[in-house]
Structure 1
Amino acid sequence: MGNYKHIEEHFSRFIIEHYRSATEVGVGRNFTVAESLAKAGVAVRTTDIFPQEPPEGIAFLRDDVCAPDTAWYRGSELIYAVRPGIEMMPCIIALARSVNADCVIYHLGNEIYERGGRIIDCGVVLHQYYSRR
């Protein structure tokens, strides 16, 4: 695991162990986590503000997380993001609350939002900003 993809591997493993459904916001061109989840049988959806070409079998919606189509996210147990822009954080958390889904983020470097939420160490440091329980 000498390259940066170890982040996605650890994050994927964490999601697979804890969730049956998840939606990734701000996927960009990095579908690594979503592909791992789909292969493991997790129902996964992805979104980004820009059109993307997802791999076969990965659902994608062009959507703005700050003005979301909440119907797309309903039913997901988890809303997650890998290295989202810090300006997206209030919108991601609000979305998770509105659809009652956990919100777990892997930040770029040592970034955190507000107080950093609950820390999850799964081989990489994740931040849980909302829990549906």
Structure 2
Amino acid sequence: MERHNCIEETVFRYLMKYPKNIRFVEVGIGKNPYIAQNLKKYGYRIKATDIKRKSEEYGVEFTEDDIFDPDLNIYSGSDVIYSVRPGIEMVPALISTAKKSGCELIVYHLGDEVYKDGGRVTDCGVILHRYYIP
């Protein structure tokens, strides 16, 4: 049986509430493709990024990208950028990228971290921070 983290499952269930025509980008997929793989499995369009390519292939479109110097073409045409447990120092760059791309930004923070005022907080079983809504 596939094991996964309850947090990722909860975030995935929240994102599934979006219409099927929504295009997602996961920033910082790291070694945890659970959300991206499941969004794809359920028919959503999903891209993933990380600062370096992982050796594993996750079955989702992947682009190496540095969120501190992003290639905005990766995010262009997408609707929602999300990130699970990004370093707090990444949040300003995530917000900037979301604004420049016209994408909603959803962040699940590590522990009790919050950037500035925390944006619009959504409790869906875990606390999500919506830092930018176009």
- Structure 1 and Structure 2 fold alike (TM over 0.5): yes
Shift of 1:37: 0.6
Question: Which of these residues, 57, 61, 67, is aligned with residue 54 of structure 1?
Answer: 57
Gaps of 5+ in 2: none
**Separation (CA, whole Å) in 1 of partners of 2:35 and 2:57:** 12
Structure 1: segments with no counterpart, 5+ residues: none
Return the alpha-carbon distance in structure 1 between the equivalents of residues 86 and 124 of structure 2.
19
Question: For 1:91, which of 81, 87, 93 is the aligned residue?
Answer: 93
Equivalent pairs, count: 129
Residue 12 of structure 1 corresponds to which residue in structure 2? 12
1:113 match: secondary structure: coil
Contact 1:31/1:54 (CA < 8 Å) preserved in 2?
no
* SS at 1:96 equivalent: helix
Residue identity (%): 42
Deviation track 1:4-62 (CA, whole Å, cap 9, x = no partner) reads 71111111111111252100111111111101110111100000001123312x00001
CA distance in 2, matches of 1:76, 1:28: 20
Conservation of the 8 A alpha-carbon contact between 2:4 and 2:34: no
CA RMSD after TM alignment: 1.3
**TM-score, normalised relative to structure 1:** 0.92
